[in-house]
Amino acid sequence: MIKNIFYVAALALFVVGCADEPLPFETWDELGKGGFSRLTGTDNGTFFFTDPDNSSFTMDLEYYSENNGAEVAANEWYVRHRNNITGEISEQALVTTVSSFGTNANSGLPSASVSFTLNDALAAMGKTIDDLNGGDDIIFDGFVILNDGSRFGPDNTGNSIQGGAGFDGIFRVIKPLLCTSNLAGTYDIITTATNQGVGIGWDGCEGNTWEGQLRIDAVPGATGEYWFYTNSAADGSFLFDMSLGAYASCYGTDAQGSLPCSGDDGCLNIVDACNNLSWAGSSQWGEVFSKAEVSVNGSELTFAWTNDYGEGGSSVITRTDGSSWPNLK
């Protein structure tokens, strides 16, 4: 009997002692509660390196918290630039703050529509489009701020909330700087033969000119690659002419077989990579062409080339539709 009394007394002391000890974890009531935004719709807008004035996107968001979004005070969005050539990432800069909310008719949660333009992002970072490269990334980080001042963003929110099934929280959006290319069309052209001083017959053609029309066609199945055609044939029809009329100015060429490419075989292409023009391929005689000058003055594009044989030409290509050339280089 005495032994049993001892055991009961010891158990009572243990229970009392444990009740007074602090628990090694927070209870549900003691845990801090957060908030997050969820994407309900988007226009899938795109950022174009070559057209910043027409680059934007919009997101429709709704906001969650412990009491159906009642604790959400604001949603801040910051922007950064990632240079994908050097790997350098700029400091965050505030681009917009959402502090006025509507109500999602379907869920009853606070909601907002948030729009971003590339120009606004550049202004927030103190940059211009010339500070960036085609293919770089613009990174938007969102932070949900509660009434008590606590902040929840991509670095302190678990993966199960960020995009996890049932949550689909959105805290980060990455927009690559894409490039459009639309050089195709028919234009007026004046081409002048240039002298590279290498001691070939071409040198004596310096200053010779050919004037006519240039048609630029997109290479089928390719993006940003083009072929040149001039109306330099004997009957005034178009020939596949990657000399842009320079051969006509010097050699009097008016037949396809005597031009750099003997036909539409793609022996030479012009490549537009985010407004940076370059040559690809080689002529039917194995000559490699290279860019000598590219400059734009409104509707006039000056494009000069040379090849490793010593030929060359400089063309002024004029748009007749009243528009300007992009900032080609």
**C-alpha to C-alpha distance for 195 and 313, rounded to whole angstroms:** 8
All CATH 2.40.128 domain ranges in the chain, comma separated:
185-318
* pLDDT score recorded for residue 142: 93
All CATH 2.60.40.10 domain ranges in the chain, comma separated:
35-178
Q: From the options 3.30.530.20, 3.40.50.1000, 3.40.50.300, 2.60.40.10, give the CATH code of 35-178.
A: 2.60.40.10
- Quick check: 224 pLDDT over 80? yes
Q: Looking at per-residue confidence, does 267 or 212 come out higher?
A: 212
pLDDT, average across residues 266-273: 86
Rg (CA), the chain: 33
Q: Looking at per-residue confidence, does 285 or 223 come out higher?
A: 285
* pLDDT score recorded for residue 8: 35
* pLDDT score recorded for residue 265: 61
* pLDDT score recorded for residue 19: 45
Structure tokens at 187: 């234009």
* pLDDT score recorded for residue 21: 53
- Quick check: 78 pLDDT over 50? yes
The answer to whether 270 and 226 have CB atoms below 8 angstroms apart is yes
- Quick check: 100 pLDDT over 90? yes
**C-alpha to C-alpha distance for 36 and 62, rounded to whole angstroms:** 9
Domain 185-318 class, CATH top level: mainly beta
Q: Which range is most confident: 46-60, 156-170, 193-207?
A: 193-207
- Quick check: 180 pLDDT over 50? yes
Q: Looking at per-residue confidence, does 51 or 12 come out higher?
A: 51
* pLDDT score recorded for residue 127: 97
pLDDT, average across residues 251-274: 87
Assign 162 a pLDDT band (cuts: 50, 70, 90).
very low
**C-alpha to C-alpha distance for 90 and 92, rounded to whole angstroms:** 7
- Quick check: 166 pLDDT over 80? no
Task: Give per-residue pLDDT as tens, 13-72.
Answer: 333 344 455 544 334 344 456 888 888 888 888 899 988 999 999 999 999 888 998 999
Mean confidence (pLDDT) of the chain: 86
Task: Identify each DSSP E strand in the chain by its residue range.
Answer: 35-42, 47-48, 56-65, 72-82, 93-98, 102-103, 110-117, 137-146, 151-152, 172-178, 185-193, 209-218, 225-230, 239-240, 268-273, 276-281, 289-297, 300-307, 312-318
